[in-house]
Amino acid sequence: MEALADTILPGSAQAGVAGFVAAMMVRPDPLLAYRFPSPPEAPALFYRRALAALDRLSVRQHARVFPALDAKQRSALVGGLLSGTADGWDGPPFGLVYFALRNDALDALYGQPAAYDELEVPYMPHIAPPRPW
């Protein structure tokens, strides 16, 4: 998950996107972007199927799982999936995978008070969150 998220939004792995998604999964109503299009399966199953399909495609194209690819290979593979030119995708619709993970990566990277400091924007919550997410 971190390798794909960081390919889509650099810095999101270091910001803890995997921890963010894991923290959301244990909530009764996870605050994940995946819920917005009213998907037919649970978020955990969706992510497992998507990441497994990504690794299968990566192995077919590069003989290595996605996290083992270099940045250029990862970008090319994701670009092919986004443009519809990557043959052999057998997971959930990649547009939905991209939508969900990109938004989760954005939440993980920029949804924390520390991100406001980096952006030099004052963090002024009405009620401060008890934890990063």
Query: Could you tell me if residue 129 is inside a domain?
Result: no
Query: Could you tell me if residue 94 is inside a domain?
Result: yes
Distance CA 47, CA 20 (A): 13
List, for residues 114-128, the tens digit of each pLDDT value. 888 888 988 887 777
Query: Could you tell me if residue 127 is inside a domain?
Result: no
Distance CA 48, CA 46 (A): 6
15, 109 contact by CB (below 8 A): yes
| Tally of residues, the chain | 133
User: How many structural domains is the chain composed of?
Assistant: 1
Query: Could you tell me if residue 82 is inside a domain?
Result: yes
1, 18 contact by CB (below 8 A): yes
Write out the residue range of the structural domain in which residue 47 sits.
2-119
- Cβ count near 39 (within 10 Å): 15
Distance CA 22, CA 64 (A): 25
Query: Could you tell me if residue 132 is inside a domain?
Result: no
pTM: 0.87
List, for residues 6-49, the tens digit of each pLDDT value. 999 999 999 999 999 999 888 888 888 888 887 788 889 999 99
Query: Could you tell me if residue 42 is inside a domain?
Result: yes
